[in-house]
Amino acid sequence: MSTFEAQYQAKLTTPVKAAEAIKDHMNLIMGSGAGQPLALMKAVGDRARDGAYARLNVYYLHGHDEHLNTIFTPDTIPFIKPHPLFMSRADRELARRGHEKGEEWVHFVPCMFHQAGRLLTEHVRPDVHIVTVSPMDKSGHFSLGTNPDVSVSVIRKAKHVIVEVNPQMPRTFGECLVHVNDVDQVVEYDHPLMEYEVESGSEVDEAIGKLIAEQIQDGATIQMGIGAVPDAVMRFLGDKNDLGLHSELFSPAMAKLIQQGVINGRKKTFLPYKHVYTLALGNREMFDFMDDNPSVVGYPASFTNSPKNIRLNKGMISVNAAIEMDLGGQINSEMVGGLQFSGTGGQLDFVRGAYASEGGKSFLALHSTAKNDTVSRIVPRLENCAVTGPRMEVMNVVTEYGVAEMKGKCMQQRAAALIEIAHPKFREGLRVAARKSNLL
């Protein structure tokens, strides 16, 4: 038995035993998305049900659907307090259940993604970190696989680290490795990773995707957010050449473009030939593509989402979705009806980084309407929501009716350009509102 294997066996325990290290009033930092450790989450939830905690603060980036069946349930919520940095669909469901009872069950923490690692190690005391990893290799290393995002930073400073080894987690490269020396306990749990499928795009998504794809030149490096619009953009990139990838998110559509040779990284000016990501959401086919693929490299969000690194890619193209925009150019991408729907994530990181890139562009895309064309998503003024993108940062806004460039335009020019890409049935009303605000 090798030295590393001996260390592994000495630290190997059960999820129930490992969870005993998580004490009352601690801050527990969990891995994100497919990197969340399901067996450990269940063990922590069971300890709460047994009366182990008066209050346990739990921080994480992107929640797993299994939240609702393991660690965050109606009988644990009085004792375990979820603190997501981004609201996943599971977190929205948890918040909804709390609101039905007149209670706040979810404690959202605003955060720009490139600052998340620092937030969780300097502004929050990281008592314990739990995360899913791939099996250990002969050199004693595990891989964080789909989610190096905040775990790389937290593992280095947490007082206690527990890894959950899952043979279904892909082994990836970059700055994804964790050595057995840096781990306090190991548990094993073979379970399918959380899969995420983007819903089929609508005709509106296709129209927006085509408009943005026309703006992407051969040799550009791309970043795409999550959702139907970014996926639609990628469906129109099949005739492009020598694209690069430096993205917060790695998705099945990106894996497909790499396999087709459209994305090859040949023209990248920062980490050429490498497909850079910090979190991966997708399906089993994508996970298998990532596994032991040296061209797919994961780094912490502090690296991938740092505007100073993003800007090193010439011709950087950033595409993200928005929920609502006002006539001055402010973007809301995270709240609906006054309630937190998602989060800032890396949107502003890449808007800034792309603009700083030589020849770079950023695009914020939104449908012109909501609720079956009864509500305009372009409004006179944002109200009862967060401003995800300040008006001075936004570069290009896209609806199914066209592209409006914001940079260099005065307030009156901005309003006029945005009204032109609003839904026709709302344009006159927006003009009236703009005149009242001296914007036309």
Split at pLDDT 50, 70, 90, the class of 205 is very high
Residues 166 and 246 in one domain: no
How far is 391 from 399, CA to CA, in rounded Å?
17
Judged against a pLDDT cut of 80, whether residue 199 lies above it is answered with no
Same domain, 226 and 150: no
Same domain, 208 and 163: no
Is 194 within the bounds of a domain? no
The b-or-e profile of 164-188 (16+ CB within 10 A means b, else e) is: bbbebbbbbbbbbbbebeebbbbbe
Res 201: pLDDT: 78
Instruction: Look at residue 184 and tell me whether its pLDDT is greater than 80.
Output: yes
User: In the predicted model, is pLDDT for residue 245 greater than 90?
Assistant: yes
Q: What is the mean pLDDT of the chain?
A: 96
β strands within 286-388, DSSP E:
296-298, 316-321, 324-326, 331-332, 335-336, 339-340, 361-365, 369-370, 375-376, 378-379
Same domain as 184, residue 217: no
The DSSP bridge partners found for residue 128 are 28, 160
**What pLDDT does 200 receive?**
76
Evaluate if residue 280 carries a pLDDT over 90: yes
Q: What is the pLDDT of residues 5-41, one digit of tens each?
A: 999 999 999 999 999 999 999 999 999 999 999 999 9
Instruction: Please check whether residues 255 and 403 belong to one and the same domain.
Output: yes
pLDDT in tens, 60-89: 998 888 889 999 999 999 999 999 999 999
Contact 87, 95 (CB under 8 A): yes
Among the candidates 188, 214, 244, a domain finishes at 188
Q: Over the stretch 116-142, which tens digit does the pLDDT of each residue have?
A: 999 999 999 999 999 999 999 999 999
Which domain does 117 fall in, by range?
3-188
Residues 300 and 184 reside in one and the same domain: no
Which of 104, 175, 199, 248 is catalytic? The answer is 248
pLDDT of residue 65: 86
Q: Is 415 helix (H, G, I), strand (E, B) or coil?
A: helix
Q: Which of 177, 74, 148, 59 is nearest to 109 (CA)?
A: 59
Residue 308: pLDDT above 80? yes
- Kindly report the CATH number assigned to the domain that includes residue 96: 3.40.1080.10
Residue where a domain stops, chosen among 188, 214, 249: 188
Q: How many domains does the chain have?
A: 2
pLDDT greater than 80 at residue 265: yes
Q: What is the pLDDT of residues 353-385, one digit of tens each?
A: 999 999 999 999 999 999 999 999 999 999 999
Span 150-179, pLDDT tens digits: 999 999 999 999 999 999 999 999 999 999
The reported pLDDT for the residue numbered 424 is 97
Q: Answer yes or no: 93 catalytic.
A: no
- Among 130, 155, 188, where does a domain finish? 188
Q: What are 47-64's pLDDT values in tens digits? A: 999 999 999 999 999 888
Give the model confidence (pLDDT) of 209-244 as tens digits: 999 999 999 999 999 988 889 999 999 999 999 999
